[in-house]
Structure 1
């Protein structure tokens, strides 16, 4: 039975749309999420090389239409409400090495619970983060394959303003943080099998960049490491690698701009995967859910004319279990992507993009296969404060025939996938978005799961250094194969953050709630979390 969240969402959106003028303090000629005098941040890396949840950022973004052919392409950009990796205390993504345009945490904030986060697909599929450039990301653990986009890992040229140690072209910064969390259902058990615990997670990170005066090249390395300690469940104690741990090298060859990138992360929280519960895998296996994934790739962009830009890329991803459980999910992905984009008018951007991914499971316990997506996308800026986005495509998977040891599922996903959204900036420091997505993800014990997702996010400054952020989310998914699970999940996150720009420290308080209702007995659950985090930028 579906919970009704349409009324409060509609009220919030209606309230925001009442403000139709230019938001004070925001530049008329900048995209709507960029404060006056600042450049728009570039998109962060996706968590998977395959399909994004949404629209592709166009390589022609932010390039004047009268630019001469051969003008170096800018970085693909992101200016939408997107949760940072494992940090639900900052809903808006700000790339490492650039000033945050959000009133909340800087990009190197400590990792928080994966609930409601964009980068927590836990390495369970190539069909994630379909939308990169515009920032929308529907990957709440299940990596969705929806309309194709041209993925980008380029965060743009890092700025020296974010670094407190500078020697010539070399810059560095340090941060430290600690998070305290109470979780009343760490094992995702049903009402008769719930286990609660308290955890402490200290983290530390360093960022290093090399920015030569020429501006044609840049190198950036960011490393964040922590340790999560549980009071009563020592088997859950684990090292953490933050989602911001990455390296990239930007350079140009003639009119073509290249980006070489590598990103690593460790996922330890099964809440991000809707298909997983205590009943589905057993308590012992679930508590040992730890995965590491690394993505290495290259991307090139070329402006063919003043109106047309093209791009292409390749990514190689490895996904491995860090325990003896869940090794059946270990796999490699090879993703090839390409797209063409144009701005026919100053307010309209259109594009056509496609991706093709080869999936190879290493244990031969699941069916390997291929997935491709092709489709158009568009972005229309109605006013300075209001943007509409839409993408539609056809997605087709072809999984290998089952063997004696592999999954018996013979299903393939072949259907139209889509994503549509509205993004709005209102009052002075408030912004929100509503997003609807239909696609699929790799299955846990099956080939795939068919998903429909509705998400609403809001963030803004309440008063002074105090900010509020929140997320409402509804998921409906159907697992492929005979007798596959059909379930709904309802997710809520609300948080407060205290952060003065002039001060090196910040603090956050958050609450999250997840409810799952399944047609399979024993797979229903609900979970409450309360988190308190403190961070310091040295």
Structure 2
């Protein structure tokens, strides 16, 4: 979900107030224009950078109120272990000759915070586990949860900074809509960078930079290995206390390790808005134009430059304390897997129903229509439809122990022979909450 920076800390009055605005405003503008001097961003860059937007007012709960497994002074560490058991009826995502298996998934989730001052906080979120296949041991692999990150938030006068290093590694081919007939697709992704935001009266300025490395988990997908330099900038205006709107721009430069896919530069420019009439409802539309230039460094693929539009509508609504829903829908162009680019249209609704005091039910659906090989000259292209549905429930069976039951259905259809499949997965999950 894309969030916009909050209003700055309250300013003092009188002449000191005017001086504070002047000095911090100059610093805001200097930092912003320095970062945006590199022809601003790509949709991919914006998604990555906004994941760690700094907040001008760092809100840290009372340390005494934070749950923990270990503490020392202001340091808090929460360790949450879990153990899952899944059954997958099509581990290789194939249309025929399906192979099934049971998978044991131990996981340890670590969450740590170390306040350095009232406004400066270092945080760690790390989920590390292992997927052990019973009959297909060659598929067993380490798992690093998406969302694992080290982050440092800092406020200097009117300017808020965030420094971060996010990482993930998972191998779940059925969750990448562009691939089929494989169980080997999975990448280690490391994204390190910083972002900065500040407010000048009714305007909020933010900018950021990320360096991203993507390394394939299997040699069959080594063509995916690449590095990207990503820049983004945003200027938002407070229309009223409930509505913020403004401009956004990005640029990303991607270089592949192997000459299979083409190095490329992607830029985008567009508009965004955030409407939040209360705590229960939030609506964020975004849209604009993106342009991708392929450098034709590949020895096998030739791809024309791509011009397209991007759209995204993200909504969350807590109707009651027991019932909430969300929606994300849009269109964009992203880096391809077996081609240079994938143009996709997607919709992803979800519902959470806290049916009982100690139990909840979650529903999720995802649909993606994609064109793989968009812009390819003389190469093979593929049009596919990918459906994913989940239903899950969890409840406390003991004071600190929850039991979860989950079902996931994945269906892929394609205009290329034998690249469609159906997969069913059912799982149990035990989680201990200290």
Q: 1:255 aligns with which of 158, 183, 187?
A: 158
- Please tell me whether the aligned partners of residues 367 and 399 of structure 1 are also in contact (alpha carbons under 8 angstroms): yes
Task: Report deviation, 1:130.
Answer: 5.1
The 1:512/1:129 distance shift into structure 2, 3 A limit, reads farther
Q: 1:200 aligns with which of 104, 127, 130?
A: 104
The 5 Å alignment of 1:508-527 reads: 508-527=404-423
- Please tell me whether the aligned partners of residues 131 and 140 of structure 2 are also in contact (alpha carbons under 8 angstroms): yes
Normalising to structure 2: TM-score of the pair? 0.85
Residue matched to 1:443? 336
The alignment status of 1:536 with 2:429, answered yes or no, reads no
The 1:129/1:467 distance shift into structure 2, 3 A limit, reads farther
Q: Deviations over 1:305-349 (max 9, x none)?
A: 2x1111111111111023322111000011111111122112211
Task: Report deviation, 1:475.
Answer: 1.1
Q: Deviations over 1:453-489 (max 9, x none)?
A: 1221111201111101111222111112243100111
The 1:65/1:485 distance shift into structure 2, 3 A limit, reads farther
Cα distance in 1, alignment partners of residues 262 and 395 from structure 2: 48
The 1:57/1:252 distance shift into structure 2, 3 A limit, reads same
Task: Report deviation, 1:505.
Answer: 2.2
Residue matched to 1:428? 321
Q: Secondary structure at the match of 1:326?
A: helix
Q: Secondary structure at the match of 2:219?
A: coil
Q: Which has the higher contact order (CA 8 A, sep 6+)?
A: 1
Cα distance in 1, alignment partners of residues 12 and 399 from structure 2: 42
The 1:528/1:228 distance shift into structure 2, 3 A limit, reads same
- Please tell me whether the aligned partners of residues 335 and 356 of structure 1 are also in contact (alpha carbons under 8 angstroms): yes
Residue matched to 1:266? 169
- Please tell me whether the aligned partners of residues 107 and 128 of structure 2 are also in contact (alpha carbons under 8 angstroms): yes
Residue matched to 2:3? 57
Cα distance in 2, alignment partners of residues 57 and 444 from structure 1: 28
Q: Secondary structure at the match of 1:364?
A: coil
Q: Secondary structure at the match of 1:411?
A: coil
Q: Secondary structure at the match of 1:325?
A: helix
Task: Report deviation, 1:409.
Answer: 3.2
Q: Secondary structure at the match of 2:223?
A: helix
Gap runs ≥5 in structure 1:
1-53, 74-125, 133-148, 279-285
Q: Deviations over 1:63-96 (max 9, x none)?
A: 78999786999xxxxxxxxxxxxxxxxxxxxxxx
The alignment status of 1:331 with 2:226, answered yes or no, reads yes
| Greater per-residue strand proportion | 2
Q: 1:411 aligns with which of 279, 300, 304?
A: 304
The 5 Å alignment of 1:368-379 reads: 368-379=263-274
The alignment status of 1:344 with 2:247, answered yes or no, reads no
Q: 2:137 aligns with which of 221, 227, 234?
A: 234
Cα distance in 1, alignment partners of residues 427 and 282 from structure 2: 33
The 5 Å alignment of 1:88-487 reads: 127-128=43-44, 150-152=50-52, 154=54, 159=61, 160=63, 161-190=66-95, 192-212=96-116, 214-278=117-181, 286-305=182-201, 307-381=202-276, 385-403=280-298, 405=299, 407-479=300-372, 480=374, 481=376, 482-487=379-384
The 1:366/1:351 distance shift into structure 2, 3 A limit, reads same
- RMSD, aligned CA: 2.7
- Please tell me whether the aligned partners of residues 58 and 351 of structure 1 are also in contact (alpha carbons under 8 angstroms): no
Cα distance in 2, alignment partners of residues 189 and 264 from structure 1: 29
- Please tell me whether the aligned partners of residues 60 and 343 of structure 1 are also in contact (alpha carbons under 8 angstroms): no
Q: Secondary structure at the match of 1:458?
A: strand
Q: Secondary structure at the match of 2:363?
A: strand
Cα distance in 2, alignment partners of residues 158 and 293 from structure 1: 28
Cα distance in 1, alignment partners of residues 113 and 161 from structure 2: 17
The 1:354/1:66 distance shift into structure 2, 3 A limit, reads farther
Residue matched to 1:89? none
Cα distance in 2, alignment partners of residues 432 and 206 from structure 1: 27
- Please tell me whether the aligned partners of residues 5 and 53 of structure 2 are also in contact (alpha carbons under 8 angstroms): no
Task: Report deviation, 1:433.
Answer: 2.3
| Greater per-residue helix proportion | 2
Cα distance in 2, alignment partners of residues 290 and 485 from structure 1: 21
The 1:201/1:153 distance shift into structure 2, 3 A limit, reads farther
Cα distance in 2, alignment partners of residues 447 and 127 from structure 1: 16
Q: Deviations over 1:239-274 (max 9, x none)?
A: 112224221112223321111111111121111211
Cα distance in 1, alignment partners of residues 120 and 318 from structure 2: 34
Residue matched to 1:17? none
- Please tell me whether the aligned partners of residues 301 and 312 of structure 1 are also in contact (alpha carbons under 8 angstroms): yes
- Please tell me whether the aligned partners of residues 236 and 247 of structure 2 are also in contact (alpha carbons under 8 angstroms): yes
Normalising to structure 1: TM-score of the pair? 0.70
- Please tell me whether the aligned partners of residues 53 and 196 of structure 2 are also in contact (alpha carbons under 8 angstroms): no
